[in-house]
Amino acid sequence: MSFPADSVGLVTPKKFSFEEPLELECDRILPRFDLMVETYGELNADQSNAILICHALSGHHHAAGYHHEDDKKPGWWDACIGPGKAIDTSKFFVVALNNIGGCSGSTGPISPNPENENRPYGPDFPLVTVRDWVKTQAMLSDRMGITQWYAVIGGSLGGMQALQWSVDYPDRLQKCVIIASTPKLSAQNIAFNEVARQSILSDPDFHNGRYLENDSYPKRGLILARMVGHITYLSEEAMKQKFGRDLKSGNFMYGFDVEFQVESYLRYQGEQFSRNFDANTYLIMTKALDYFDPSREYEQSLKKAMEHTQCKFLVVSFTTDWRFTPERSQEIVDALISNHKPVSYLDIDAEQGHDSFLFPIPLYVKSLRAFLGGQEHLKATPQEVV
């Protein structure tokens, strides 16, 4: 065993089962569900040090540490979670889960459907929303004896869940961290999601979502969906620096094999992703993104939606994020300010585009640490707006 000193080390996921019907926003009912959960650190006596981590489109409960001694990669946010790290597991009890509709152990399209002879749900799994997820996360909190989270944190789609927490359960979180997110998707965001969905839906191996029962898999569709998604996660500048117009063989080949390095990278990313992710889950995740709009129940006013929030907010955006631009984060900040809510906002100068939220960029990590440490009103920097 030789994990880094600031790693949470070996971790074991735990399944929480909820044997009660769950009413969903779409008016359908899930008869029962499981949540796959990982925790890092210790819950203190008065349950006041718990932090919830909400995952993004392709995320899951494995946010930090290692599942096996020979794992090459740690959890997806290991850069920020661990003893002494920004989300300090020597101080905080950190909870990460896989959301329902997911494909990493929580109830989702690959789970048995009790209402259909325990065959995989497949396309019969309901379309869940960010509100639904937050509701199940609140049920998990109850089960864990956590009345109030010290903080709820998420990036991208995870940031939407953090935001929704502050709206739906205002007294159940002290702090809310919304990173690289948006109060709702733009037409262009939806358009990219639609291309990803059509890639999967139109793959002949999709079989209307019943590929598992047909011993099939819409691999091509999932590869395409991930490729197009991946372009939107990286900034143009990051792509330029990473690949430029570099050729794989040094010369034009005048064929359709990989010529440019960026093609090689995208194909590899798509291929890798398609091995580990469920296509129906991908569809569900993109729909949850599209549907997210907390202002919908508040006369289309984000200000009204956030009027009753009680927590302190940290909103973070990244300069080169063109999927959810800094302007979109600023809409959240504006809504909070107009409600006189406590909010710190940082637009971090970073080159990695939307993906920046996964990287340990010094100012970002520092601000996260400071906000969680109690210094909500960060020292002013040139990039700080509020």
Give the interface with its own copies as residue ranges (CB under 8 A). 26, 28, 126-127, 184-188, 190-192, 194-195, 197-199, 201-204, 220, 223-224, 227-228, 231, 234, 236, 239-240, 242-245, 252, 254-256, 259-263, 266-267, 270, 283, 287, 290-291, 293
Closest to its own copies by CB, 241 or 381: 241
Our answer to whether residue 156 is catalytic in this structure is yes
Catalytic residue among 321, 329, 347, 356: 321
Q: Identify which of 229, 220, 218, 219 has the alpha carbon closest to the alpha carbon of residue 195.
A: 229
Q: How far is the CB of 283 from its own copies (least distance, A)?
A: 7
DSSP labels for 143-179?
HHT-SSEEEEEEETHHHHHHHHHHHH-GGGEEEEEEE
Distance CA 33, CA 100 (A): 8
Amino acid, single-letter form, for residue 241: Q
226 annotated binding-site participant:
yes
205 annotated binding-site participant:
no
Give the C-alpha distances (Å, rounded to integers) separating 262 from 98, 166, 244, 291, 354: 31, 40, 8, 32, 18
Q: How far is the CB of 251 from its own copies (least distance, A)?
A: 11
Distance CA 139, CA 143 (A): 6
Catalytic residue among 62, 354, 356, 367: 354
Q: Contact, 262 vs 313, CB < 8 A? A: no
Distance CA 51, CA 87 (A): 9
Closest to its own copies by CB, 25 or 376: 25
End-to-end CA, the chain:
45
- The residues with which 279 forms a beta bridge, in sequence order, are none
Our answer to whether residue 278 is catalytic in this structure is no
Q: How far is the CB of 215 from its own copies (least distance, A)?
A: 17
Tally the residues of the chain.
386
Give the C-alpha distances (Å, rounded to integers) separating 252 from 11, 115, 146, 180, 242: 47, 56, 60, 38, 19
Catalytic residue among 156, 166, 295, 344: 156
Closest to its own copies by CB, 80 or 200: 200
Our answer to whether residue 88 is catalytic in this structure is no
Q: Where are any strands of DSSP class E within 172-272?
A: 173-179
**DSSP one-letter code for 83:** T
Give the C-alpha distances (Å, rounded to integers) separating 313 from 95, 182, 345: 19, 14, 8
Closest to its own copies by CB, 93 or 273: 273
Q: Phi/psi class of residue 145: alpha, beta or left (left: φ > 0; alpha: ψ in -120 to 50)? A: left
The Cβ of residue 383 has, within 10 Å, a number of other Cβ atoms equal to: 15
Q: Which helix (H) or strand (E) holds 261?
A: helix 261-276
Take residue 318 and report the two structure tokens written for it: 């990244």
All residues at 6 or more sequence positions from 176 whose CB lies less than 8 Å from its CB, including other chains: 151, 152, 153, 162, 163, 165, 166, 309, 311, 312, 313, 314
Q: Which residues are part of the catalytic machinery?
A: 156, 321, 354
Q: From the annotation, which residues make up the binding site for substrate?
A: 226, 355
Q: From the annotation, which residues make up the binding site?
A: 226, 355
